[in-house]
C-alpha cells in the first residue's frame, strides 16, 4: 500500500510550500510517504511539478452537472443568471466544455505518470445543498457519471485507473448499497475502474454520530454492507468529519441565500457551508485500523485541509499515530 498526501495548485497550498516543490518532497520524506494526489487548479505551469511526486490526480468536480450535460439551457440560466457566468464556470456553454476540461486533466495525469484519477460520481445544485432534498435518483447520477467518463475516455492518452469517489448528498454515489457500485461498473465503458472510499464523506451521511468511535463503527459497517463489492475499493481518502450537529442546525436556516445578489454570492455561501460539513480532520483513535481488516487498498491518502505547514505536519503525525500496525 502506498501512503500519500493531498496537494493542489491553489495559491494557498503553493504558499504553504513556499512555491518550492522540493519542500513537498521533504515533507514526504519526513513522514515516510510515497507521493501526492494532485488537484490541479488551472493557471499553473504544471511542468514545474516533478512527476515522480505525483501518484494520482483528482479531477475537477462540477457539482452542478445535469443541466450542462443534458443541454438544459433554461435551467442553466435559472442557476447561473447569464451566459457569461455559465461559460466562466464550465469553460463553455455545453457538454463539450466539460469533456474538454476532463480530457485536458487526463492528459496532465498521463504526463505526470499518475496511476489513477479520481472522479466524483455526485451532484447537488445550490438550492438543495442545505436541505439535501435532491429531486433526482442515485441511478440518474451514476448513469450520467458513467456516460461522462465513457465519452471522455474515447480520446485521451491516459490509460490508468478511474476511481469513483463517494459523497454524502442523496441522489449521488453514497455507498449505501452494493447496487450503486455494480451499476457504476456495468455502465462505464472503461475496464480499469474502481472506488475511492472517502471516510469523511461516509461520516457526513449520518447525523446521529457524536464521537469518533461511533463514526469508525459506522464506516466499518458501511464497508461490510457492500459485500463483495468492497474489493473494488482501490484507494482511501482517510479523513475524519464529525459535523452532524452543524448539519442539523444548518437545516433550520429558512433562506441561506437571502442576501445574495448573483450566482457567485450563492456559490461562496454554498462553498463555505460545504467546508463546515466536510472537515478533513485526522483520526486519533487507533480503532480506525479495523477498516483495513476489510479492505486492502493500493493507495492510502491523508486528505486534510490546513492553514500552514505546522498544522499540516500536526495532522499527518496525529493520524499516522492512529495506524501503528499498518
The predicted-structure confidence for 147-160, as pLDDT tens digits, reads as follows: 999 999 999 999 99
pLDDT at 12: 93
What is the model's pLDDT at position 107?
97
Give the model's confidence band at 240: pLDDT under 50 very low, under 70 low, under 90 confident, else very high: very high
- Cell 463514526: give the residue: 215
137 three-class SS: coil
Give the pLDDT of residue 203. Answer: 98
Residue 204's pLDDT is: 98
pLDDT band at 211 (very low <50, low <70, confident <90, very high): very high
Question: According to the model, what pLDDT value does residue 15 have?
Answer: 96
pLDDT confidence of residue 286: 98
Using 50, 70 and 90 to split pLDDT, how confident is the model at 222?
very high
Contacts 24+ apart (CB under 8 A), 85-93: 85/262, 85/263, 85/264, 89/62, 89/64, 89/263, 90/62
Torsion sign (Cα): 303, 306, 310, 315: negative
pLDDT at 97: 98
> Which of the four pLDDT bands, split at 50, 70 and 90, describes residue 100?
very high
pLDDT on residue 300: 98
Query: With bands split at pLDDT 50, 70 and 90, how would you rate the model's confidence at 139?
Result: very high
- Homologous superfamily assigned to 2-321: Divalent-metal-dependent TIM barrel enzymes (3.20.20.150)
Cβ-based burial of 245 (10 A; exposed 0-12, middle 13-18, buried ≥19) = exposed
- What is the predicted pLDDT for the residue at 191? 94
Please report, to the nearest 10 degrees, the dihedral formed by the alpha carbons of residues 251, 80, 74, 120 taken in order.
Answer: -70
Q: What does the alpha-carbon distance between residue 239 and residue 55 come to, in Å, rounded to a whole number?
A: 19
Q: How confident is the model at residue 144 (pLDDT cuts 50, 70, 90)?
A: very high
Mean pLDDT, rounded, for 142-170: 97
SS3 4: strand
Q: Residue 48 gets which letter from DSSP? A: G
CB atoms within 10 A of CB 101: 18
pLDDT at 142: 98
Residues 42-82 have pLDDT tens digits of: 999 999 999 999 999 999 999 999 999 999 999 999 999 99
Share of the chain above pLDDT 90, in %: 99
> Mean pLDDT, the chain, as a whole number?
97
Element housing 236 (H / E): strand 233-238
Quickly state the pLDDT bin for 9 (edges 50, 70, 90). very high
Look at residue 268 in the predicted model and tell me its pLDDT: 97
Backbone angle region of 287, left / alpha / beta, with phi > 0 → left and psi within -120 to 50 → alpha: alpha
As a whole number of angstroms, the distance between CA 188 and CA 152 comes to: 11
Domain positions in the chain are: 2-321
Any idea which residue has 464556470 for its cell?
89
Percent with pLDDT over 70 in the chain: 100
Q: Give me the pLDDT at residue 314, please.
A: 98
Specify the 3-state DSSP secondary structure of 195. strand
Amino acid at each position: 500500500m502506498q501512503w500519500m498526501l493531498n496537494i493542489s495548485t491553489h495559491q494557498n497550498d503553493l504558499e504553504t510550500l513556499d512555491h518550492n516543490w522540493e519542500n513537498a518532497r521533504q515533507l514526504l520524506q519526513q513522514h515516510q510517504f510515497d507521493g501526492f494526489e494532485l488537484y490541479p487548479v488551472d493557471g499553473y505551469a504544471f511542468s514545474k511539478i516533478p512527476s515522480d511526486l505525483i501518484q494520482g490526480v483528482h479531477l475537477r468536480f462540477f457539482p452542478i452537472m445535469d443541466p450542462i450535460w443534458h443541454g438544459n439551457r433554461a435551467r442553466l440560466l435559472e442557476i447561473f443568471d447569464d451566459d457569461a457566468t455559465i461559460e466562466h464556470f464550465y469553460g463553455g456553454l455545453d457538454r463539450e466544455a466539460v469533456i474538454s476540461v476532463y480530457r485536458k486533466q487526463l492528459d496532465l495525469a498521463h504526463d505526470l505518470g499518475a496511476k489513477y484519477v479520481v472522479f466524483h460520481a455526485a451532484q447537488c445544485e445550490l438550492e438543495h445543498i442545505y436541505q439535501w432534498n435532491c429531486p433526482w435518483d442515485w441511478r440518474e447520477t451514476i448513469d450520467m457519471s458513467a456516460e461522462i467518463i465513457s465519452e471522455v475516455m474515447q480520446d485521451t492518452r491516459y490509460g490508468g485507473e478511474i476511481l469513483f469517489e463517494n459523497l454524502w448528498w442523496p441522489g449521488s454515489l453514497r455507498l449505501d448499497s452494493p447496487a450503486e457500485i455494480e451499476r457504476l461498473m456495468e455502465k462505464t465503458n472503461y475496464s480499469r475502474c474502481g472506488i475511492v472510499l472517502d471516510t469523511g464523506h461516509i461520516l457526513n451521511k449520518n447525523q446521529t454520530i457524536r464521537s469518533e468511535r461511533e463514526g469508525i463503527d459506522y464506516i466499518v459497517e458501511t464497508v461490510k454492507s457492500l459485500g463483495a463489492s468492497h474489493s473494488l475499493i482501490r484507494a482511501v481518502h482517510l479523513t475524519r468529519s464529525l459535523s452532524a450537529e452543524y448539519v442539523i442546525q444548518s437545516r433550520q436556516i429558512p433562506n441561506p441565500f437571502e442576501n445574495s445578489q448573483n450566482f457567485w454570492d450563492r456559490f461562496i455561501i454554498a462553498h463555505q457551508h460545504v467546508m463546515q460539513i466536510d472537515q478533513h480532520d485526522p483520526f486519533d483513535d487507533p480503532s480506525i485500523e479495523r477498516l483495513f481488516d476489510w479492505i486492502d487498498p493500493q493507495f492510502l491518502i491523508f486528505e486534510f485541509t490546513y492553514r500552514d505547514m505546522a498544522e499540516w505536519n500536526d495532522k499527518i503525525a496525529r493520524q499516522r499515530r492512529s495506524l501503528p500496525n499498518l
